[in-house]
Amino acid sequence: MFRLFTFLNRETNGLHQAAFLLAFASIGAKLLAVLRDRLLAGSFGADRALDIYYASFRLPDLLYVLSLFLVSTTALIPLFLEKKDFISRRLFINQVFTIFFFSIVALGVITFFLVPCIIGVIAPGFSAEDTSVLIKFSRILLLSPFLLGLSNLVSSVIQSFNRFFVYALSGVLYNAGIIFGLLVLYPVMGINGVIWGVVAGALLHFLIQVPSLVSLGFFPRFALSISFKEIKRVVALSLPRTFGLTLHQLVLLVITAMASLLAAGSITIFNLASNLQAIPLGVIALSYSVAAFPTLAKSFINQKKEDFIFAVDSSFRHIIFWLLPVTVLFIVLRAQIVRVLLGAGAFSWTDTRLTAAALALFAVSLFAQGLILLLVRAFYAAGKTRAPLVINFISSVLIIIFALGFLLILKHSAGILTVFDRILRVEQVSGSAVLFLPLAYSLGMIINFFFLFVSFERIFGRILDRIKKSVVQVFLTSLLIGVVSYFALSVFDDLFGLDTFFGVFMQGFLSGLSGLFAGFVLLNLLKNKELKEITTSLQKRFTKRVIIRPEPEELP
């Protein structure tokens, strides 16, 4: 037990090793997330029941984002690291915890009673009966923001000491709780059991990190006196980022409202596709961004601009290295991916086709979404918060405008839908209007990235010259991967029956593998820098013996 505890709480040094550790741990969470969505899709299909489930997250998620005014890691980590001694750090955490606790409880109680008044805005297309169920589920899920907010506070301390593994493991347990609700509570309590499983997952998300926090000596306690000057600094640094996340939640709320007015199952289609595209974002982009953030913060605090730029440059190139090929594979193999991961039980072929088309539209902006995660953290590590705030606001407004505009055009010109359906290969499939929502989302994200990148270069200096060679190499490689995978589909179509899980899986797997092999050969011929760095990092990871020992409380 002691060895397990020591392993979970060891420090991870080096950007790439930390990123790989986060990525591999994140894979476990994402696999459970896929299993969770497969169970949900198989149990309910893309129907109104699952629409209600996904819609019930909108208010609690918004409340959680509001809690980040006090417990955002992008604000807490730099301020925590700024304090050089143990006592001042512990006092800082206690003060933040005290204000957070009373604020989130008060906000939760108020929201609980206001849910019936607000819920009509979230799902105007629901019937009275569906709305009643949505109110009940939303109220239960109000427990999640409190638990996840506490977890965020804890993870800020843990990440400051480079203890990334236990942080990543929390995501595994969150999804495990939801799966427990589906497999154990659902047969007994119905869909109410699934909702309580979400709460159980949020509790586990917090509890798994507590031992690490205790070992560091920073378990939060109520502070008898509060330095509102410190709290003001937290809020000031959190404000732009949290406001940006709030805007994102409001965008999702508006999209949910629009989808509720479309065919039953539209909310489900949007969310299932969004969850699938979130897999590479979490495993790749978020891993590199989270791993880079403490380095970025320390570099800027110590006025080491070259180290700061190098961390951004390195993470940028590696995110592109992974996400561009994934984007192409998601577009080419979309039907195989969705059918294999979600195609069970009540999830029909129509549901599969719509979700696959939505996934392809989300995938178009994968690179932009991934790089936004990195660039925003770079801005916040440097304390430059205005640019991301303004850009987030503009892109959020544009997403809503695009979505409304597309649906209005569709209402007055059905011919556009016919052309759109033909491009995405969903001809004669009812409910395809929902596909304009992920299209609007992707366009907004691409615009967000473009302005964020331009602002970064204007404020911190030009990095395009550093990355353009790698970007061109990976772009050409991704095109080759896509072409080879596309033609391989036809080859393996003749070898496997596509009416079975095994046949669809093997067709998609071998086609993707063929494309990746071709890409690997090309990258070697091009002597790609990222491939060499990754190979070297993996060799160090698996050939060097790591001595696990108790860690000091202070940063080295």
What is the pLDDT, as a whole number, of residue 157? 84
Rounded to an integer, the average pLDDT of 60-87 is 83
Residues 57 and 184 sit within 8 Å (Cβ to Cβ): no
What is the pLDDT, as a whole number, of residue 75? 76
Percent of the chain with pLDDT over 90: 45
What is the pLDDT, as a whole number, of residue 333? 95
* Cα–Cα distance for residue pair 165/172, rounded to 1 Å: 11
Residues 455 and 387 sit within 8 Å (Cβ to Cβ): yes
Rounded to an integer, the average pLDDT of 376-393 is 86
- Which range among 3-7, 21-25, 231-235 shows the weakest confidence by mean pLDDT? 3-7
| Amino acid symbol at 83 | K
Alpha-carbon radius of gyration of the chain: 23
What is the pLDDT, as a whole number, of residue 124? 94
Confidence band (pLDDT; 50, 70, 90) for 24? confident
Residues 61 and 28 sit within 8 Å (Cβ to Cβ): no
Stated pTM of the model: 0.86
* Cα–Cα distance for residue pair 128/117, rounded to 1 Å: 13
3-state secondary structure 294-310: HHHHHHHHCCCHHHHHH
Residues in the chain: 556
pLDDT of residue 553 exceeding 60, the answer is: no
Q: What is the pLDDT of residues 135-146, one digit of tens each?
A: 999 999 999 999
Q: What average pLDDT does the structure give for the chain? A: 86
Q: What is the pLDDT of residues 3-22, one digit of tens each?
A: 544 545 555 555 556 666 66
Q: What is the pLDDT of residues 407-439, one digit of tens each?
A: 998 887 777 878 888 888 888 888 889 999 999
Rounded to an integer, the average pLDDT of 509-518 is 94
Q: What is the pLDDT of residues 303-353, one digit of tens each?
A: 788 888 888 888 899 899 999 999 999 999 999 999 999 988 889 889 999
Question: Which residue, 543, 484, 475, 190, is CA-closest to 332?
Answer: 484
Provide the 10 A C-beta neighbour count for residue 407: 17
Residues 68 and 245 sit within 8 Å (Cβ to Cβ): yes
pLDDT of residue 261 exceeding 90, the answer is: yes
What is the pLDDT, as a whole number, of residue 29? 77
What is the pLDDT, as a whole number, of residue 74? 67
Q: What is the pLDDT of residues 162-173, one digit of tens each?
A: 777 777 788 888
What is the pLDDT, as a whole number, of residue 556? 30
pLDDT of residue 454 exceeding 70, the answer is: yes
Percent of the chain with pLDDT over 70: 92
pLDDT of residue 132 exceeding 70, the answer is: yes
* Cα–Cα distance for residue pair 556/546, rounded to 1 Å: 18
What is the pLDDT, as a whole number, of residue 22? 64
Determine the Cα angle at 447 with ends 279 and 358, to 5°. Answer: 40
Q: What is the pLDDT of residues 45-60, one digit of tens each?
A: 888 999 999 999 999 9
Confidence band (pLDDT; 50, 70, 90) for 547? very low
Helices (H), 333-383: 334-342, 349-363, 366-381
Handedness of CA 306, 309, 315, 319 (dihedral sign): negative
